[in-house]
Structure 1
């Protein structure tokens, strides 16, 4: 379908992932493979946490929520991007565009809150272990998850999505991105949106800097508590758990700061695409690897639930009994 007919029959045109890149087919194929790995990894991690009683703790419950957010983010972006590329049809409807904006903002805000809550969980476990079962009760965990998904994520995202989508579009309806993103969409409007852009920047500061400040303060208190530990085994275990969480903090907050809090960020769409690709594709794949490869509980649960129940493994055990 030609570009003119496509523009008339759809509301927006997504120009895709680096449209001028020479080896774009190979890049999109790699992105699809990474998405499949992220989908399988996060789904497996969620199932392990829900099925294995050894992982029924607040830390793993919050981790399952983080994996669920990663699944929501990647599944709302990557399949549409890959389908558009291989079909040659770059259109996206008004409703689908708004849906992408809503889910991407919901997950972005929700993850900032959830990662902060996960840090609070580690702070209570290390600095106040005797009161940990009382403070991090199942009811409190569900309230924290609801606050991340709905209280901070969905409500704020709904306001931004509705307001951004109501502006009239005067420029060619071509979005220089592989997804519908707020700042990229606002560049197509013909009204003066400088006040709204400032509000987006201010809200980004609040959403990113306040949780990040709380995380840094919590970890400062955690490291002071770790230094006062007499047991080297307990110290190493606490540092191992915290190091995994710190890696996740860096992966999530780093791109968010560079996209929304960098001066003139709207003028560098290629860099923003790279950061969004890292945050929406690579980070969801790395998250289950960080927590599974460095965590004995997850590895043991994986062995008991998957590896030990593998038909080939059972056959080898059966043959071993007769030899």
Structure 2
């Protein structure tokens, strides 16, 4: 942490929970919030890159770093994919600091396999930590904020979920991870719609940065440059957006997904109706296929799945068959 905590920073007085905060993006977020005056609940199991093992060391190191810089932090070692662990995040925030303002759902790991080699256990484990591990902290925090709102103390609450480009476009060899991250986007949209009445804003980020999940799979892309050049893949580049979304200054921004990489921020635009044909009656199968080909010529080409060759534009079949009327 390069600067001391600020009593007048963007998040002064706020209490922030960051899951998976022992390393990588979570660590960068926790330090950045503390530098802007937030008090931080540093959650991390200390598990390995595939979710194995437990160690309190990483979370403790981050909390100690925040305190050494003049900030306030407590360690939480709860398993965020259990009701007990997720509820302990809220309990620790309230017990230690008397309030809860922001939750950053960040914890996760990968177990990459090609689809036909993907074990059921690897599917379940990744779904558990990413998707269930977003749902449960969000659920328990939202229950607290709803109670506050009903008691006449409407919060200025924020949730930042962590999706991925894999969840937006797909990624070869990561069917479990991509499916979980896509689910997080849908969870974000639903939560934003449901919780706005209680003073809660919910957004998601799709970050690209150097973490334990990316530095080996994408080693060349993620490598830090030498010679003092801008380190585009440093996780600290993503944190300013997360801090702003987690602050009161982000009033009115909810139900959005942002890509964040290096010095770039992109508002992602999701599924919406494209070219459409309405016959006003039931289609015959061949008729429907003919119309689909026509519509695809008008539609935008989707982004390429990570690790795959971009799809070729649709072409007319060699033998379209007899015309259907």
Do both proteins adopt the same fold according to a TM-score greater than 0.5, normalized to the shorter chain?
Answer: no
Q: TM-score range by the shorter chain?
A: under 0.3
Greater relative CO (CA pairs within 8 A, separation 6+): 1
Task: Point out the structure with the larger strand share.
Answer: 2
Give the TM-score of the pair, scaled to structure 1. 0.28
Task: Point out the structure with the larger helix share.
Answer: 1
